[in-house]
Structure 1
């Protein structure tokens, strides 16, 4: 990311102001598998320590894994590595929201999948007011 981009655009990641001035006095508490970094420090209006995430790449809240989401929203007090049980073998990893991308879910019959739907079976009967 170029220096001008990091100064003026907030949607491509943390701005240079956030990195150098906004995080002053904050303590780095951890990072996740996606490369997002989490900080804590200062105080919010309730007097509790403020919690932050600095995204690696685009600012997209769906890229915060569920365990770190719980920490950011004070559902757990300790960072997820210390407070939550390890991930079970049957749990799938979190994925980002793919809406608006080529990887978005498209049901059968969607125009992007050819627009052809399976033929209706004989189990449907249209409603009529007389019937």
Structure 2
């Protein structure tokens, strides 16, 4: 925790949560969302000037694809209220969240990629290169 960010929050983030953070909510994956209790004046030289700072502490690996869409909107100040107050009812066609599989054994490897053997099917000859003179 003192020096790593990839397996949770660093000591500095933990300390900032305790001193200046207000817990706002938790999503279905256990990620915790915070907002700053310390306001930054509008004229200050900061990207957060005139608005509150918001952040997430992941429950597990730090992967931004684990932030649900409704909390992503809140993190980026798209709306002020917490997502529970903005969620529409779930649709029957919506699927459950699946984490980003890049870099894992479950990653997609299309035909011809090195991870899938590196052999592509032979070209069919139906491609004609563009030429500026044509």
The TM-score normalised by the length of structure 1 is 0.75
In structure 2, the CA distance between the partners of 1:125 and 1:13, relative to structure 1 (3 Å rule), is same
In structure 2, the CA distance between the partners of 1:76 and 1:93, relative to structure 1 (3 Å rule), is farther
Task: For structure 1, list consecutive stretches of 5 or more residues without a partner in the other structure.
Answer: 1-5
Query: Using the alignment, how far apart are the partners of 1:127 and 1:68 within structure 2?
Result: 45
Which residue does 2:49 correspond to in 1? 46
Query: Using the alignment, how far apart are the partners of 1:117 and 1:105 within structure 2?
Result: 16
Q: Over aligned residue pairs, what C-alpha RMSD do you find? A: 2.7
Which residue does 1:16 correspond to in 2? 11
Which residue does 1:28 correspond to in 2? 23
Any runs of at least 4 consecutive aligned residues in structure 1 with deviations exceeding 6 A, and if so which?
A: none
Number of matched residues?
125
Work out whether 1:37 is the aligned partner of 2:58: no
Contact 1:37 1:54 in 2 (8 A): yes
